[in-house]
Structure 1
Amino acid sequence: MPFANIKMPQAALSKAQKEDLIHRTTAMFVDFFGEGVRPYTMVLVEEVADGGYGRADEVFVVPEAYRAKE
């Protein structure tokens, strides 16, 4: 079963954008493995709360201007 776990900042994508991401990721697996994997493909979009992630000792918070507009 193909499985993708996509982690991103909370509120970075709208519901429609997350749905599109799931559809495109599923299509990518189908293109790679064949149509038979579609029913078994799992795509998990996890939102990480502000301040719950970072890089190079810097904690990230998404600025309001970059938050998804539902």
Structure 2
Amino acid sequence: MPFANYKFPEGLLDAARKEDLIHRTTALFVEYFGEGVRPYSMVLVEEVTDGGWGRADETLTLAKMGLPAKK
């Protein structure tokens, strides 16, 4: 079963963009593995609380990345 797990800062993607990401990822799996994998493909889009993740020993926030804070 093909599986993709995306993690984004909370509030960065709206419902339409999440849906588009799921459709495009599923299409990628189908293109690569064939139509038979469509019913078994899983795409998980998770939102991480602002400041709840880091890289290179630094906590990242939307402000540090120059992105607008969640509304």
Common fold by TM > 0.5: yes
For 2:54, the aligned partner's letter is G
Distance 2:13 2:69 in 1: 9
CA RMSD of aligned residues (A): 1.7
- Residue type of the partner of 2:29? F
Residue identity opposite 1:21 in structure 2: L
Q: Which residue of 1 aligns with 2:68?
A: 65
**Equivalences, count:** 68
Structure (1/2) with the larger helix percentage: 1
Unaligned runs of 5+ residues in structure 1 are: none
Q: Name the residue aligned to 2:32.
A: 32
Corresponding residue for 1:54? Answer: 54
Instruction: Give 1:8 shift.
Output: 1.1
| Whole-angstrom CA distance in 2 between matches of 1:7 and 1:18 | 11
Q: 2 CA distance for matches of 1:30 and 1:66?
A: 35
Task: Give structure 2 stretches of 5+ with no counterpart.
Answer: none
